[in-house]
Amino acid sequence: MISSDRSPASGTRFGRSVAIALASGALLAAGHLAGCASEQPAGPREYLDERTAATITVAGESMVFAYDRPDLGVNARDYVTLTAVDVNTAGRHATHLVGYAWSTLDKRAVKESDSRYEIVADDRTLPLQAMPAGFRSIGVDEPPIPVPSRDALPLTAPVTRDQLQFLRDTPGVRVVRTRDGVMERFDLWRAPGH
């Protein structure tokens, strides 16, 4: 699994810079894969989270994965939106992928049940942890990206620069949701800059 690769990307200024650059690069690379390389993603954005006193650096725009449900709606879908962030808590840096699982499908059309999300790149998987109460436990209170809908489920995963690099270099990165033993694949819907 991707998370087994414990690269010391955090803890140094260099590590933080590289991590964010790679995060941007990984997300940009996904844009190349989608065939829209001419557009550039927005640059990293930094803000001070006033509740956690952490400095949050957000890597450009989000990447979005979509799961089509043509049986339930022609244009409505389930989505997972993710972005990479560096959380600087008093000089201690940690890089995370954060985002939301959300949907534009009518609730009545789908059954709700416990779900497990993970990013899959080739044979490596990166589990995304559901955080229904928000990102506070990783030092983020103010959401780094807009909350897509009221019932969006926050997701996060710690990442290293090696993992981000692997994501960048791997075509066909996707998110897989497992619920009730059934796997549902979210393909890349929108990459940064699109």
Please report whether residue 180 would count as binding another protein according to CB under 8 A.
Answer: yes
Least separation, in Å, of the C-beta of 181 and another protein? 4
Q: How many residues bind another protein (CB under 8 A)?
A: 54
The C-alpha atoms of residue 130 and residue 29 are separated, in whole angstroms, by 26
| CA angle, residues 127, 185, 30, in degrees to nearest 5 | 75
Please report whether residue 66 would count as binding another protein according to CB under 8 A.
Answer: yes
Strands 153-158 and 92-103: antiparallel
Please report whether residue 38 would count as binding another protein according to CB under 8 A.
Answer: no
Backbone angles phi, psi at 87, to 5 degrees: -110, 115
Pick from 21, 76, 130, 145 the residue near another protein by CB under 8 A.
Answer: 76
x/- map, 124-153, another protein, by CB under 8 A:
xx-x--------------------xxxx--
List Cβ neighbours of 34 (8 Å cut-off, separation of 6 or more): 188, 190, 191, 194
Q: How many other β-carbons are positioned within 10 Å of the β-carbon of residue 47?
A: 12
Please report whether residue 169 would count as binding another protein according to CB under 8 A.
Answer: yes
Please report whether residue 57 would count as binding another protein according to CB under 8 A.
Answer: no
The C-alpha atoms of residue 82 and residue 4 are separated, in whole angstroms, by 20
Pick from 6, 13, 51, 116 the residue near another protein by CB under 8 A.
Answer: 6
Please report whether residue 117 would count as binding another protein according to CB under 8 A.
Answer: no
Interaction site with another protein (CB under 8 A):
1-6, 8, 10-11, 35-36, 64, 66, 73-77, 79, 92, 102-109, 111, 113, 120, 122-125, 127, 148-151, 162, 166, 169-170, 174, 176, 179-183, 185, 189-190
